[in-house]
């Protein structure tokens, strides 16, 4: 399980993970957060979500990569639920696939965090698979016209030893912070397509991601032979 199924346990865990260690008074437009099980990446994600707790946000677009279904483009859905209750879904005209979104953990693990820190916001849930540059740019342009807060779901490198993972992840973090289109293909992350859309969004809007927290699974478990990288950013 990616997080507890029991509502009380989930609430208690979220309260522990949403760490208020960073103050940010400037207007935020979005977050990049990891999507592993809460025991692994929950603190890295929670620190980012703490930045928007009690902020006035009406509509959130959640962009998550597809791990299990191969398709071209983007899909949404009409209904999602967690142990905290039904998610408030924003009406939209994207193709619908409830089965893909219900199964996709990169989207699912974000839902309780969103429900906890923004219980009244409506969510536009989007799962992205293969995108061309034109598709990514078109999606960014479409989303940029709406009054949305953006959450981008992505882990970093997978299954390298601890030192190699840190080296690769620092390179990816630099590419993201620099919005380096030229070297985008060098990004080592499972959320590359959501990140590509974000790059175009940032170009349109004049936003720039800034690293908030980085860890990998070796920092959590102590097993440094094969790790997964996690980072959170705000923009």
Predicted pLDDT at 37: 96
- Is 79 contained in some domain? yes
Predicted TM-score of the model (pTM):
0.95
* Residue 136 included in any domain: yes
Which of 51, 211, 37 minimizes the C-alpha distance to 117? 51
Alpha-helical regions (H) of the chain? 7-17, 38-49, 98-103, 105-108, 110-117, 133-144, 162-177, 192-205, 217-221
Number of domains in the chain: 1
Concatenating the DSSP letter of every residue in 50-95 gives GGGTT----EEEEEEE-SS---BSEEB-S--EETTEE--BPP--S-
In a domain, 116, yes or no: yes
Q: For residue 168, is it within any domain?
A: yes
Is 204 domain-assigned? yes
Residues contacting residue 15 through CB under 8 Å, at least 6 positions apart? 116
Q: Provide the token pair at 200.
A: 């175009």
The CATH number given to whatever domain includes residue 11 is: 3.40.830.10
Domain that holds residue 14: 7-234
Distances (CA, A) of 152 to 9, 166, 187, 212: 26, 21, 15, 14
Q: Token pair for residue 229?
A: 């990288």
How far apart CA 124 and CA 31 sit, in angstroms, is: 15
Percent of the chain having pLDDT more than 70?
98
Q: How far apart are CA 14 and CA 189, in angstroms?
A: 25
pLDDT in tens, 48-57: 999 999 899 9
Q: Is residue 157 part of a domain?
A: yes
Q: Which two tokens stand for residue 60?
A: 């959130």
Res 25: pLDDT? 67
Intervals of the chain under pLDDT 70: 21-25
**Adjacent-strand bridge partners of 21:** none
The pLDDT value given to residue 30: 98
Residue 22 has a pLDDT of 64
| 2 domain residue, yes or no | no
Task: Give pLDDT tens digits for 82-119.
Answer: 999 999 999 999 999 999 999 999 999 999 999 999 99
CA atoms within 13 A of residue 173's CA, in its CB half-sphere:
20
């Amino acid at each position: 399980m990616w997080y507890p199924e029991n509502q009380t346990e989930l609430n208690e865990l979220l309260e522990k993970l949403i760490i208020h260690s960073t103050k940010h008074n400037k207007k935020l437009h979005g977050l990049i957060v990891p999507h592993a099980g809460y025991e692994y990446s929950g603190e890295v994600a929670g620190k980012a979500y703490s930045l928007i707790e009690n902020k006035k946000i009406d509509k959130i677009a959640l962009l998550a990569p597809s791990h299990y279904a191969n398709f071209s483009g983007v899909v949404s859905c009409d209904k999602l639920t967690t142990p905290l209750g039904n998610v408030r879904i924003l009406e939209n005209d994207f193709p619908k696939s409830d089965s893909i979104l219900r199964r996709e953990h990169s989207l699912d693990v974000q839902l309780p965090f969103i429900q906890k820190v923004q219980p009244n916001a409506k969510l536009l849930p989007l799962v992205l698979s293969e995108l061309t540059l034109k598709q990514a740019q078109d999606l960014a342009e479409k989303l940029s016209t709406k009054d949305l807060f953006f959450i981008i779901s992505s882990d970093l490198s997978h299954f390298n030893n601890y030192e190699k993972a840190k080296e690769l992840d620092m390179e990816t973090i630099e590419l993201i912070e620099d919005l380096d289109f030229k070297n985008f293909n060098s990004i080592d992350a499972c959320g590359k397509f959501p990140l590509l859309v974000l790059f175009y969004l940032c170009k349109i809007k004049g936003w720039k991601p800034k690293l908030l927290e980085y860890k990998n699974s070796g920092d959590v478990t102590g097993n440094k032979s094969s790790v997964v990288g996690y980072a959170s950013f705000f923009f």
